Amino acid sequence: MLTARLERLGLKPGDWVLDLGCGEGRHCHGVHLLGGVNVVGLDMDEPSLAKARAGLSVLGEGGGATSFMKGDAYRLPFADATFEAVICSEVLEHLADYPAVLAEIRRVLKPGGRFTPTVPRAWPERICWRLADGPGGYADQPGGHVRIFDEAGLEGEIRRLGFSYHGKHYAHALHAPYWWLKCAFWRRRDDHPLVRLYHRLLVWDLMKRPWLTRALEAVCDPFMGKSVAFYFEKTEAGRAAA
C-alpha cells in the first residue's frame, strides 16, 4: 500500500528514481512494476533491505534496473543531478537534521526532477504523542519520531530550496485509529486484544482490497489520513543553489 502516488511523478522508461529511506521497499517495488524505470532503494537498516530484496525476487523482471543499498541520507553516494525523481516516505520525521537531507535530495535531483516527501499528518500524530507520552512512550523510541511537521512550514522550507509546489494529498485514514489504539494501550501495544483485532482488519484490507474499505478510506483520507504526501519539482533556481 503506497503513500506516494507514482503516477504523479511523470516517470518514463529509462528514468532513474531514488527511494530514500526505502525500508522494506514498498515504493521501490511499485516503481519496479511500472516497467522500464530504474530505481535505487537506500536505507541504513540491513534487515529491512534484506526484506526489500526478497520481495523483489517475488515480483520478477520489471524491465528496469532495481537495486537496494545501505547508505547515509546525510551523504548520499551519488553524483549531482543523477535522478529524475526522489521519493522520501515517512523518513524526515526521524531525522535530527532534516534540512541537510533536503539539501542532499536537491543536489542529486536533475533540474525539472520530481520530489515527493511524505510525513505523518500533524493532528493524528499529536494524538499519538499525547496518548503515549513520557519516558518510553511513542515519541521516546530508538530511531522514532523526533518532530511533528507543520504542513505549511515544511512546504515553505522546500519551496525556498528551489522547488515549485505541485500539490499534496492525504493517505492511510484507516491506519490512524490503529495507531491511536496502540498508543492508548501502549504498555500492551503488541498484544492487546483490540490492537490485534484492528491489525487483522488492516492485513485483510491489504490482501483483499475490498471495495467497502477502499471507498471508506477514500472518503476519510481528506479528514483523517495519517500521512500527507507532497509533490515538488526542482527548478533552475534549485540547480543554481545546489
Q: At what angle do helices 98-108 and 151-160 cross, to 10 degrees?
A: 50
Question: For residue 122, what pLDDT is reported?
Answer: 98
Confidence band of 237 (pLDDT split at 50, 70, 90):
low
Q: What is the reported pTM? A: 0.94
Residue 109 pLDDT greater than 50, yes or no: yes
Write the pLDDT tens digit of every residue in 113-156: 999 999 999 999 999 999 999 999 999 999 999 999 999 999 99
Q: Residue 61 pLDDT > 90, yes or no?
A: no
**Model confidence at 218: pLDDT above 80:** yes
* 7-26: pLDDT as tens digits: 999 999 999 999 999 999 99
Computed on alpha carbons and rounded to an integer, the radius of gyration of the chain in Å comes to 18
User: What does the pLDDT read at residue 191?
Assistant: 95
* Residues 53/79, Cβ–Cβ less than 8 Å: no
pLDDT-based confidence at 1, cuts 50/70/90? confident
Contact in structure between 112 and 234 (CB atoms under 8 Å): yes
Residues whose CB is less than 8 angstroms from the CB of residue 192 and which lie 6 or more positions away in sequence, other chains included = 181, 185
Q: Examine the pLDDT at 236 and tell me if it is beyond 50.
A: yes
CATH architecture of the domain formed by 6-120+145-172+226-241: 3-Layer(aba) Sandwich (3.40)
- Identify the three-state secondary structure at position 80: coil
Determine contact, residues 134/128, Cβ cutoff 8 Å. no
Residues in the chain: 242
CB atoms within 10 A of CB 212: 8
Cell digits of residue 156: 515553505
pLDDT digits (tens, 9 = 90+) for 174-201: 999 999 999 999 999 999 999 999 999 9
Residue 239, pLDDT > 50, answer: no
Taking residues 205-215, what's their average pLDDT? 95
What is the pLDDT of the chain when averaged over all its residues? 95
How much is the pLDDT for 62? 84
